[in-house]
Structure 1
Amino acid sequence: MRKDFLRWSEVPYAGESTPPTNPVTPLAGSWSLVYLKRDRNGNFLDPNGRKIQLTITNPNRIDFERELRIVQKTLEKLTPNQKKIAIYYLTGAPTKQWTPVIDRLIDTYGVGPTDAARILASVQGAINDTMIIVWDLKYRWNVARPNQYDQKLRTLLCTPRFPTYPSGHATLSGCAQVVLSYFFPKEAKKLQKIADNDALSTLYAGVHFPADIDEGLKLGRYIGTVIVNHLKTQLNSDLKPIDHPFRNFLNANIFPDDYKQFIPFNFPNTCTSLVEKDKKTHSTSKENYIQFPKPLLYL
């Protein structure tokens, strides 16, 4: 069934009087790719030049009014732990929380310098391509945010200035999970847990619909798989695979300690849309600082 949905560029955020006029990097969907390609018609291609069928539901098939009710109920019943998850994963750009995960895995498994460089390049290159696809879809579909559907909605954190569907955090996390699991297969379950928490953080914050998250994770894992399949085909001068995934399990310490930042930074505290005024939630400590519009540019 076709569902009409509100357009991000046409409706004000809760607490604001005009639709958003400051879109973040609206042309990022056209930026240069690392592993994937793009044809003259704008279709995305795999590394071998074959058209890829993006695994994501068209927003016309999503009931965003129903999705909104889930967001509203989630915000009404947030637990202290869910608030911590939201604050932790939404502080800084989405790559902020994955960077220390990669470093911990490299350190724990004693990865050599060239292999470490390849792992970092592979994950970040895949993330680059993933975010370009996300931005292409966000601005192509132009789906409104939860606080545009509900003009009284007070979110836990500030809503970023670009369309909602799909979630950048969710899609990036799904991709990062898959690529890192290729290099460190025994850590796969833990990496999936981090990806799920990162994605769910946006629902707990009230800035994304469940569909943004579910479809984003699915899409990110698909893109990650396409890129991993390409990495597996790459050979050295002896015609042997470049990569040698670590088959042992060293149980790397990749989870945050009580959701305190691995890399603290004191972000600014301003927001023009409605946010929850819970002083206990709005910590100003460097370890657990909530970010607002500028740091949330990449959600």
Structure 2
Amino acid sequence: MDNNYLRWSEVAYAGESTPPTNPVTPSAGGWSLAYLKRDKDGDFIGPNGLKLRLPITHPDHIDFDKELKIVQRTLRNLTPIQKKIGTFYGTGVPTKQWTPVIDRLIDSYGVSPVHAARIIATVQAAVNDTMIVVWDLKYKWDAARPNQYDHKMKTILCTPRFPTYPSGHASMSGCSEIILSYFFPKEEYKLQKFSEEDAVSRLYAGVHFPIDNNEGLKLGRYIGNVIVNHLKSQRNKDGKPIDTPYREYRDTNFFAENFKQFIPYDFPDDCSSLVEKQDNAVPRTSHKNHKLSKPRLYTKNFSK
């Protein structure tokens, strides 16, 4: 199917009269990479020198009208928990909710100072590369946001000022999940749950189509696995692997209680697109005990 989708740079947001004129970091797709590289044609290259075959559907082959109906139906039927999920993971930049996860894993497993530095550096460098790939695709494809298709749409959060596809939250979450599962393999299931919840939160917030999140998770996990394979090949001066993943299970508690931010954050109040008025009477239900209302977005194979 070939679909002539709307362009982000050509359509106004709901509640606005002109297309966006203030794109956020439009040149970031060309920034410096840590693990990945670019060839002379601009294609991304893995640490092994091979061209990456990014597992992501071109937007020409996406039915955005069908995707829009899912967003509209989701916003009409949001549960209190889904509103909390949308707000929690959408508070601050995409890395904000993952930073405490890394710290708690390091503390829980008694990681040494140098190993902790390596884990932090590895995750953040991998996320850096993932976000650069995402920004390259976002501005190359220029796909419009849900509220550019529906000019009456009121979102839970303010719609970001950059193209929709793929989702940055989903992509960096998929990558973080894979990298952290490499170092802490027994925490894999919970890390997967965290990344999938982060991804679907963007649908609940109304700022992304489900395909943005599904394909973003898949893309981030792919990049994460490319980098993990590189980490496995690294050796110290004695020829031994640098990393020794923590094989015991300490059941680290890295989910926030009642969706309370570990790091306080105040949302700016200058949103110019239509936003739903927040209900302050939302019940405070425990994060740990709720079940996701959406099936797993993408299943990966990860060999420990």
Q: Which band: TM-score by shorter chain?
A: over 0.9
Residues 259-281 of structure 1 show CA distances to partners (whole Å, capped at 9, x for unaligned) of: 10011122322210001023427
What is the 5 A alignment of 1:43-192? 43-192=43-192
Q: Distance in 2 between matches of 1:251 and 1:178?
A: 17
**What corresponds to 1:195 in structure 2?**
195
**What corresponds to 1:295 in structure 2?**
none
Please state whether the residue corresponding to 1:95 is helix, strand or coil.
coil
Aligned length: 283
Q: Distance in 2 between matches of 1:123 and 1:176?
A: 6
**What corresponds to 1:286 in structure 2?**
none
What is the 5 A alignment of 1:16-27? 16-27=16-27
Residues 138-162 of structure 1 show CA distances to partners (whole Å, capped at 9, x for unaligned) of: 0000000000000111111100000
Aligned-residue RMSD, C-alpha: 1.2
Which residue identity is paired with 2:115? D
Q: Distance in 2 between matches of 1:85 and 1:200?
A: 8
**What corresponds to 1:276 in structure 2?**
276
**What corresponds to 1:33 in structure 2?**
33
Equivalent pair of 1:24/1:161 in contact (CA under 8 Å): yes
Residues 184-206 of structure 1 show CA distances to partners (whole Å, capped at 9, x for unaligned) of: 00000000000001001100000
Which residue identity is paired with 2:26? P
Q: Distance in 1 between matches of 2:141 and 2:23?
A: 14
Please state whether the residue corresponding to 2:100 is helix, strand or coil.
helix
Q: Distance in 1 between matches of 2:54 and 2:91?
A: 28
Q: Normalising by the residue count of structure 2, what TM-score does the alignment of the two structures yield?
A: 0.92
Structure 1 moving runs of 4+ over 6 Å: none
Please state whether the residue corresponding to 1:219 is helix, strand or coil.
helix
Which residue identity is paired with 1:229? N
Q: Normalising by the residue count of structure 1, what TM-score does the alignment of the two structures yield?
A: 0.93
Which residue identity is paired with 2:205? A
Q: Distance in 2 between matches of 1:280 and 1:72?
A: 22
Please state whether the residue corresponding to 1:229 is helix, strand or coil.
helix
**What corresponds to 1:294 in structure 2?**
none
Q: Distance in 2 between matches of 1:64 and 1:3?
A: 8
Q: Distance in 2 between matches of 1:231 and 1:279?
A: 46
Residues 34-60 of structure 1 show CA distances to partners (whole Å, capped at 9, x for unaligned) of: 000101110000012110100000111
Is 252-261 or 262-271 further displaced after alignment? 262-271
Q: Distance in 2 between matches of 1:79 and 1:234?
A: 46
Please state whether the residue corresponding to 1:236 is helix, strand or coil.
coil
Please state whether the residue corresponding to 1:166 is helix, strand or coil.
coil
**What corresponds to 2:259 in structure 1?**
259
Equivalent pair of 1:28/1:135 in contact (CA under 8 Å): yes
Deviation at 1:67, TM superposition (A): 0.2
Equivalent pair of 1:83/1:281 in contact (CA under 8 Å): no
**What corresponds to 1:232 in structure 2?**
232
Q: Distance in 2 between matches of 1:157 and 1:167?
A: 15
Structure 2, unmatched stretches of 5+, are: 283-304
Structure 1, unmatched stretches of 5+, are: 283-299
**What corresponds to 1:287 in structure 2?**
none
